[in-house]
C-alpha cells in the first residue's frame, strides 16, 4: 500500500523536475561554424599549447632558455586564459628535418592542442609546418629566419603555409645587410660563402651572393659543409684558392667557431674579412673563438632597449641565476604573448561554461595583428606571417672581455 501511494507522487515530482530543468536551460547550444573546426573545453579544462624547441645537442642551452621565456610569459598572463589553466606540451624539435617532423607528429595528433610555439631552427620548421598547417593549427616562432618560411622579395616563400607566423626577422634582410656592408661600406669586391647544407644557411648565402653581385661584386666561391663537421680545412683551402676579400658564413655553433678559428690559420685567409650571423653567438661563443674572433663581423637586428626589455632580462636572471645566453629571448617571449592574446580574443564561452576556440578564427586574429606592443617593438603581421619590423646592423668583436653585451653594443654599420 505504501508503495502504491509513493509512486504517483514520485512520478509527479520527477516530471516537475524535468520541466524546471528544461526551463532553466532554454539557451541554444553552441554550434561551431569555424571552417577549420573548434577546440572545445569543459569548465576547468586546460588550454593545451605545444612547444617545439631544441632540447638536445649543441643548441640545447638556447632551447632551455626559450622554454623558460615561454613559462615567464605564461606566468605574466596569470597561467590561465578566461579562467582555464594553460598546459604546455614541450617537445624536442632539434635542429633537423627529422626531429622537426617527429615533434610535429607528437603534437598534431593531439586534437586538444590549440597552437604551437616554435621551432628554434628553420630546418625543423620547414619540415614540420606542412603537418601543423594540415592539422588546422597555428605555429609562431621567435627564432626562425629562413626567408622561404614567409616571403622573399615580396613573394610567397616556397615553404610558406597557412598558420605560420614569426616574431624574428626575415633572414633575407640580414644577408642583404651583410652584402651591402661588405661592398658599399668596406669596398670589397670578391666574396666567398660557406653554408652547412640546411635551408637556413643555403637561403642566406644565396641572398648574400645575389645582393653582392647586384652591387657590382663577384662571388668567387660557394662552399658547403655538413652539420657536425669539425675539420674545415678542405673548405677553407678552396676558399683561399679563390682569393676572396670577404667570407660570409651564416652558421651556428659549433661549426661557426670552427670556421673562425681555423680560417685564421689558413694561408691566404689570415686577414680576410669574416662576416657571420648573430645566431652563432651565445654564452660560450666568445670563449670558444678566443683571439681568433677579434675583428669578426656579425649581422644582427638592432639591439633592443626600453623598460620592458630590461625588466625581462633582470627577471630572467633573478629567476634562474644567470643572464640570458642568446639575444632571441624577447622574440620568443613576444611569440608566446601574441599566441596567448590571440586565443583569448577569439575564445567564446557559452552558457554552460564551455570554452570554444575556432582554429580559423585564431589564424585570422594572428594575421590581423597590427601595432601590437611587444618587447621587441611594434609588431604588425604581413600577409605571409612576418611580424618583425625592426632594422638590422653589423656589429664587430673588438674586445673579448666585454662579453656578449659589449659585442652587441659595438655597432659599426646600420642598414634600414
**Max Cα distance, the chain (Å):** 112
- Mean pLDDT value of segment 159-176: 96
pLDDT at 283: 64
Q: Produce one character per residue of 251-283: b if its CB has 16 or more CB atoms within 10 Å, e if not.
A: bbbbbbbbbbbbbbebeebeebbbbbbbbbbbb
- Mean pLDDT value of segment 19-38: 72
Partners of residue 246 on adjacent β-strands: 191, 273
- The number of residues in the chain equals 416
Name the pLDDT band for 17 (thresholds 50, 70, 90).
very low
The position carrying cell 659589449 is 406
Tell me 183's DSSP state.
I
Give tens-digit pLDDT for 180-201: 999 999 999 999 999 999 989 9
Select 172-302+393-415's CATH number: 3.40.50.2300, 3.40.50.970, 3.30.420.40, 3.40.47.10: 3.40.50.2300
Helices (H), 86-170: 97-108, 122-134
Residue 247 has pLDDT above 60, yes or no: yes
What is 38-168+328-385's CATH topology?
Rossmann fold (3.40.50)
Question: Which triple of cell numbers denotes residue 378?
Answer: 611594434
- Mean pLDDT value of segment 128-132: 99
Could you check whether 38-168+328-385 and 172-302+393-415 share the same CATH topology? yes
pLDDT at 27: 58
Higher pLDDT pick, 58 / 7: 58
Name the pLDDT band for 59 (thresholds 50, 70, 90).
confident
Tell me 292's DSSP state.
G
CA distance 89 to 194: 36
Report domain extents, the chain. 38-168+328-385, 172-302+393-415
Q: What is the DSSP string of 47-71?
A: EEEEEEE--SGGGHHHHHHHHHHHH
Give tens-digit pLDDT for 327-369: 999 999 999 999 999 999 999 999 999 999 999 999 999 999 9
pLDDT at 349: 93
Report the half-sphere exposure of 314 (CA within 13 A, side-chain side). Answer: 7
Amino acid at each position: 500500500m505504501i508503495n502504491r501511494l509513493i509512486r504517483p507522487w514520485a512520478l509527479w515530482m520527477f516530471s516537475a523536475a524535468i520541466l524546471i530543468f528544461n526551463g532553466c536551460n532554454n539557451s541554444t547550444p553552441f554550434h561551431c561554424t569555424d571552417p577549420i573546426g573548434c577546440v572545445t573545453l569543459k569548465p576547468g579544462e586546460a588550454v593545451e599549447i605545444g612547444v617545439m624547441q631544441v632540447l638536445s645537442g649543441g643548441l640545447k642551452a638556447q632551447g632551455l632558455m626559450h622554454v623558460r621565456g615561454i613559462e615567464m610569459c605564461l606566468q605574466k598572463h596569470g597561467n590561465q586564459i578566461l579562467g582555464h589553466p594553460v598546459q604546455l606540451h614541450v617537445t624536442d624539435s632539434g635542429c633537423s628535418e627529422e626531429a622537426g617532423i617527429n615533434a610535429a607528429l607528437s603534437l598534431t595528433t593531439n586534437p586538444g592542442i590549440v597552437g604551437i610555439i616554435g621551432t628554434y631552427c628553420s630546418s625543423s620548421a620547414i619540415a614540420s609546418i606542412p603537418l601543423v598547417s594540415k592539422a588546422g593549427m597555428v605555429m609562431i616562432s621567435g627564432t626562425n629566419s629562413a626567408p622561404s618560411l614567409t616571403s622573399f622579395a615580396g613573394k610567397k616563400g616556397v615553404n610558406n603555409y597557412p598558420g605560420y607566423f614569426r616574431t624574428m626577422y626575415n633572414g633575407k634582410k640580414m644577408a642583404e645587410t651583410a652584402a651591402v656592408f661588405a661592398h658599399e661600406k668596406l669596398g670589397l669586391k670578391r666574396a666567398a660563402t660557406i653554408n652547412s647544407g640546411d635551408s637556413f644557411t643555403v637561403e642566406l648565402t644565396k641572398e648574400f651572393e645575389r645582393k653582392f653581385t647586384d652591387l657590382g661584386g663577384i662571388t668567387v666561391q660557394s662552399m658547403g659543409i655538413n652539420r657536425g663537421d669539425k675539420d674545415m680545412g678542405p673548405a677553407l683551402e678552396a676558399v683561399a684558392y679563390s682569393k676572396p676579400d670577404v667570407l660570409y658564413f651564416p652558421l651556428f655553433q659549433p661549426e661557426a667557431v670552427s670556421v673562425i678559428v681555423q680560417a685564421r690559420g689558413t694561408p691566404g685567409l689570415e686577414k680576410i674579412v669574416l662576416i657571420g650571423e648573430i645566431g652563432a653567438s651565445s654564452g660560450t661563443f666568445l670563449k670558444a673563438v678566443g683571439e681568433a674572433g677579434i675583428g669578426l663581423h656579425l649581422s644582427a637586428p638592432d639591439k633592443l632597449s626600453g623598460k620592458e626589455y630590461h625588466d625581462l632580462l633582470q627577471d630572467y636572471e633573478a629567476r634562474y641565476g644567470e643572464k640570458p645566453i642568446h639575444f632571441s629571448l624577447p622574440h620568443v617571449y613576444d611569440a608566446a604573448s601574441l599566441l596567448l592574446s590571440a586565443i583569448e580574443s577569439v575564445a567564446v564561452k557559452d552558457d554552460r561554461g564551455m570554452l570554444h576556440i575556432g582554429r580559423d578564427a585564431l589564424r585570422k586574429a594572428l594575421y590581423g595583428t597590427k601595432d601590437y606592443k611587444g618587447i621587441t617593438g611594434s609588431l604588425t603581421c604581413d600577409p605571409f606571417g612576418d611580424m618583425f619590423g625592426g632594422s638590422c646592423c653589423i656589429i664587430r668583436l673588438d674586445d673579448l672581455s666585454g662579453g656578449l653585451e659589449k659585442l652587441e653594443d659595438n655597432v659599426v654599420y646600420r642598414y634600414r
